[in-house]
Every structure is written in C-alpha cells, then in structure tokens.
C-alpha cells in the first residue's frame, strides 16, 4: 500500500468517526437541519469556505491560473469575497431572524406563499444536484490518482464517505467535518508552498523569473492575462467582472452559503464568519494561485493542466507533505459534496412536497432516507457521467444568482414586493438564464459582456418582479413578516457583541491593506519595471 493510499484511508476513517460523534448529538429536526442554531464563528466560517472551494478550486481554478489567467481569477475571487461581507449584512442576519429550516422555507414564509417556497426548492435541488455530481466526479478522479484504484471504486469510496456522516448527523456533522477539512487543506497548502517557491527560484523572484521565462504563457501577469485568439482585453476583463458579480451574489444568497447563517449562535456570528471567509478567499486563494503559476518555472508542460497541484505533490514537495496536501484537496471535495447533499436532501423533504409528519422523529428519519436516495441517484449519474449533467453544471451558479438574487435582497429591503412578484421574478430569472445559456452553447450565437446569460436572466428576473408586483397587492401576513424581520432581537443588542464585530472589521481592513501592499511590491512594481526595459 502506497503512502498516498494510506493517507486517503486514514482521512476517510477520521471523517466517518467525527460524523458518527456528531450524529449521536442529533436529537431533533433543528439539530439535523440547522445544527441546533448554536454554531460558533469558526464552524460557520469553516463550512462557508470549505463548501465553496471544493476540488474545482484546487484543480480547475489552479489550471486556469497556470495557463495564463491568474489576474482574472484573482479579480473573480475578490468580487466573490465581497459577497461574504454584503450577504450577512444585507440578507443573512435577516434570514436567521426568520428561524426557518431551509432558505426556500424562508421565501415561503416571507411571501406567505407555498408556490414560491416550492419553486425555490425545485431550483435548489436542480442547481445543487449538478454541483454535487461535479464534485463527486472531481473527488473520484483525485482519489483514483492517489490510490490507483478503478474509477468506479473511487467514486463509490468517495460517495460512501460523505454520505455516511451526512446521512446520520446532518448539519451537525457537515459543519464539523467541513471545518476540520478547512483547517487541513489550508495548513497543507501553506506548508507545501515554500518547497515549490524554492524550486522555482524563491518567492521574491517568482514574478521576475516568470517575466523572463520563454516557457511561461504570454502575458501571464498582465492585467488581462493570456488572450485567446479573437478575445480582446475588454472581453477578458468583462468576463472576469461578470463571473465575479455572479459569485458575489451566489455566496450572498445561495442555499448552500447563506443558509449556513441559520446554524449560527447569533446574527453577529454570521457577520464575523463572513469576514473570515472573505479573508481566506482573497489571501489564501491568491497564495494557492501563485503556487500554480510558479509551476511554469518547474514544469511548463503539465497535462492535463488540472493536475498542476497533483503533479507538484508527486514530484516537488516531500512525500509526506504531498500526502498532506492531496488529502487536503480531497477533503475540500468531500466537504462540498456533504454540504450539497445535505442542502438538497433538506429542501427535497421540507420544501417541494408537503408532508404531514406525526412527529419530529418521523420527519428526521424521512429526511435521512430521502438524502440517502438522492445520494444513490447522484452516484449512479456520476458513474455514467452523461453529457447533459456537465451542461447543467456549467451554469448552476448563474441560475441561483439570476433566479434568487433580486428576490432575496428585495425580500429584505423592499416592502412592496409581492408573492406574485417574487414567484415571477424567480421563474423568469431561472428560465431566462437557462434559455440564454442553451442558445450560447448550442447555436452559433455568442452571448457575452452585457448580453451574458447571467445578465439576461437578471434583467428578466427584475422584469418579472415588476410585472408581478404591479398586478398584485401585499397581504397583511407579508406586511407583518417584513415588519418583524426588521426588529432586532434584544439578545443581539449587547455592546460586547458589537465590539467584537468591530474588531473583525478592523482585521478585514488590515488584511486588505496588507494583501494590496504585497501585490503592489512583489507584482505590480516588478512587472512595470520589466515592461519599461
């Protein structure tokens, strides 16, 4: 047995033990769905970042940076990080006050309408099932690299790992294992980085060495990155800004990100955990992408490029550290899969079909069996890997942003929006985005810049809200819910809570100044000096 297979086995056993421990503490539906609403900042921050990163962050995004697009991915992530600040401030803390079990249930209560809740539940299941399939496949491929086992066996192992503790422990197990995985992959990457930088000529020389290298992608460090044939600098920048806005809205209001706030001890925790996630998104991911572009100085011909970090772990860093990093990457995939499975299972049980349970215990076990069934279907689809699944996963995030984004923020800040307006906004945003994406992918028509499918869906979503709201009236129940949502609970008014919030705010500002100074001194100035020469 190789050291890499040993690392996989040990980590899987660890996660199952932790999940089993958490599962024994599940007493009721609140524990299973929202972890008893008492999770501290570290657990919420851990599950936020771990569930967002997944294997795509370590494989797909690093490949994007390695092939000449680090500037674009940094822009995308910087905008994405803004969602972790804006989301809790302008949506998440009000969501928590609603004391619901799922986000679709929030929309149902906010607008006193089961149709809104049901449609939100359907979009949750569709979009996150696509993500779940993509993450299962990515984790299975990584496990195949580490163990040498067949694709089917690796898919089954990965599925069994995250399904076992998610099925039994629900949110309590998910946020605990997510946080442990979060600590593991951050620590592993930070430890591995210096070995790669040393091999590439030293961290302080990375930029100048890349600029002088004839093997590195052209314009790797330019503001627009490496441009493909027929793509202008404006196209590249508008793409990065568009996708950045998509992810800003997604992390602000998506069911697998904003719903983490439902598990928090208080609404101040939702704000603080967002600060931690924002810092990790900017600083840690920039560090990871610098590792990826440094590999151009060690091996500029890695194929497929998604294996750039895997190749480094096998060939550059010491074996024990390579195991540490790769099991951390696998952990990122498992954490995302467990989050997606739990959110899909919760929504399928609670939001789409109305069931009258005789007690909470019956609902708890029904939720578990539904989650297991969804996991089995996902495993089967991941094994056969039909092309349609890949197509769906390409626009899953834009579906949520276009369909939910306007309705989510307006549900908190616009008391005039009606149930009909919310439903029409979600429906038109969803189908407008899907239709535009299908046109973009399967016809000669190219939709980009302001005609990007996301903006088309967003515009149609606002149009649906306007038409629906103008042709209906706000009910007394909606007015009452809106009013109560803006009443700050007495338990949230303690001065010491706000003092701690301000401390996190100061840390956020300092981290922003520090990362800006580092990029200026070690990237912008050397780049301009080289260009002048």
Asked whether residue 330 falls in the same domain as residue 444, the answer is no
What are the helix (H) ranges across 24-92?
29-34, 41-58, 60-64, 70-87
What is the reported pLDDT for 119?
93
The pLDDT of 206-220, averaged and rounded, is 88
Asked whether residue 409 falls in the same domain as residue 382, the answer is no
Query: pLDDT per residue over 265-282, tens digit each?
Result: 999 999 999 999 999 999
Asked whether residue 380 falls in the same domain as residue 288, the answer is yes
Q: Is 395 exposed, middle or buried (0-12, 13-18, 19+ CB in 10 A)?
A: buried
Asked whether residue 275 falls in the same domain as residue 329, the answer is yes
Asked whether residue 284 falls in the same domain as residue 163, the answer is yes
Q: Is the pLDDT of residue 358 over 80?
A: no
Taking the CA atoms of residue 207, residue 208, residue 212 and residue 214 in that order, the dihedral angle to the nearest 10 degrees is: -20
Query: pLDDT per residue over 145-182, tens digit each?
Result: 777 788 888 888 888 888 887 877 778 888 888 888 88
pLDDT above 90 covers a percentage of the chain that reads 40
List all residues 6 or more positions away from 245 whose beta carbon is below 8 Å from its beta carbon: 79, 401, 454
Mean pLDDT of the chain: 86
Asked whether residue 445 falls in the same domain as residue 501, the answer is no
Cα 128 from Cα 166, distance rounded (Å) = 15
Query: pLDDT per residue over 448-475, tens digit each?
Result: 777 888 889 899 999 999 999 999 999 9
Asked whether residue 215 falls in the same domain as residue 230, the answer is yes
Cα 439 from Cα 333, distance rounded (Å) = 31
> Where residue 349 sits, what CATH number does that domain have?
1.20.1730.10
With bands split at pLDDT 50, 70 and 90, how would you rate the model's confidence at 23?
A: confident
What is the reported pLDDT for 429?
92
Count of Cβ atoms closer than 10 Å to residue 238 Cβ: 15
Asked whether residue 218 falls in the same domain as residue 274, the answer is yes
With bands split at pLDDT 50, 70 and 90, how would you rate the model's confidence at 391?
A: very low
The pLDDT of 405-430, averaged and rounded, is 94
With bands split at pLDDT 50, 70 and 90, how would you rate the model's confidence at 532?
A: low
Crossing angle of helices 285-294 and 41-58, rounded to 10°: 20
Q: How far is CA 513 from CA 77, 241, 277, 510, 518, in A?
A: 16, 21, 17, 5, 9
Asked whether residue 315 falls in the same domain as residue 272, the answer is yes
Cα 523 from Cα 529, distance rounded (Å) = 10
Asked whether residue 500 falls in the same domain as residue 485, the answer is no
List all residues 6 or more positions away from 376 whose beta carbon is below 8 Å from its beta carbon: none
Domain count, the chain: 2
Domain residues for the domain of 201 are 3-394+494-532
Asked whether residue 467 falls in the same domain as residue 508, the answer is no
What is the reported pLDDT for 396?
65
Asked whether residue 288 falls in the same domain as residue 406, the answer is no
């Amino acid at each position: 047995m190789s050291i890499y297979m040993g690392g996989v086995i040990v980590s899987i056993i660890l996660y199952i033990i932790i999940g089993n421990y958490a599962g024994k503490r599940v007493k009721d539906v609140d524990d299973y769905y929202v972890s008893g609403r008492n999770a501290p900042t570290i657990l919420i921050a851990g599950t936020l970042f771990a569930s967002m990163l997944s294997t795509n962050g370590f494989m797909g995004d690093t490949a994007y940076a390695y092939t000449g697009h680090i500037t674009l991915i940094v822009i995308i992530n910087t905008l994405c990080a803004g969602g972790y600040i804006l989301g809790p401030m302008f949506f998440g803390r009000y969501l928590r006050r609603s004391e619901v079990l799922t986000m679709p249930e929030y929309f149902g209560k906010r607008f006193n309408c089961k149709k809104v809740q049901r449609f939100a539940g359907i979009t949750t299941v569709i979009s996150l099932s696509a993500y779940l399939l993509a993450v299962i496949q990515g984790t299975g491929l990584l496990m195949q690299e580490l163990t040498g086992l067949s694709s089917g066996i690796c898919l089954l192992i990965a599925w069994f790992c995250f399904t076992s503790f998610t099925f039994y422990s629900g949110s309590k197990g998910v946020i605990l294992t997510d946080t442990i995985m979060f600590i593991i992959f951050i620590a592993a990457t930070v430890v591995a980085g210096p070995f790669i930088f040393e091999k590439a000529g030293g961290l302080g020389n990375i930029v100048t060495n890349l600029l002088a290298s004839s093997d590195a992608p052209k314009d790797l460090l330019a503001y627009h990155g490496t441009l493909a044939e027929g793509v202008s600098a404006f196209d590249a920048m508008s793409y990065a800004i568009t996708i950045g806005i998509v992810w800003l809205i997604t992390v602000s209001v998506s069911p697998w990100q904003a719903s983490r706030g439902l598990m928090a001890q208080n609404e101040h925790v939702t704000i603080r955990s967002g600060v931690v996630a924002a810092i990790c998104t900017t600083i840690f991911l920039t560090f990871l992408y610098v590792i990826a572009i440094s590999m151009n100085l060690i091996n500029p011909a890695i194929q497929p490029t998604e294996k750039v970090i895997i190749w480094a772990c096998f060939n550059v860093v010491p074996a024990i550290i390579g195991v540490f990093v790769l099991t951390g990457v696998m952990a990122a995939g498992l954490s995302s899969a467990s989050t997606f499975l739990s959110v899909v299972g919760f929504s399928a049980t609670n939001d789409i079909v109305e069931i009258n349970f005789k007690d909470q215990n019956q609902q708890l076990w029904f939720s578990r069996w539904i989650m297991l069934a969804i996991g089995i279907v996902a495993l089967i689809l991941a094994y056969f890997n039909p092309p349609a699944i890949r197509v769906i996963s390409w626009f899953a995030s834009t579906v949520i942003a276009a369909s939910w984004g306007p309705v989510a923020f307006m549900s908190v800040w616009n008391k005039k929006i009606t149930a009909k307006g919310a439903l029409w906004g979600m429906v038109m945003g969803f189908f407008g985005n899907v239709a535009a994406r299908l046109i973009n992918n399967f016809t000669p028509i190219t939709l980009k810049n302001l005609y990007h499918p996301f903006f088309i869906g967003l515009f149609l979503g606002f149009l649906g809200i306007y038409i629906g709201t103008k042709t209906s009236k706000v009910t007394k129940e909606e007015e009452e819910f809106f009013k109560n949502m803006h009443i700050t609970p007495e338990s949230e008014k303690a001065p010491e809570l706000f003092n701690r919030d301000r401390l996190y705010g100061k840390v956020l500002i300092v981290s922003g100044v520090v990362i800006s100074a580092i990029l200026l001194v070690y990237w912008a100035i050397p780049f301009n000096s080289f260009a002048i020469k």
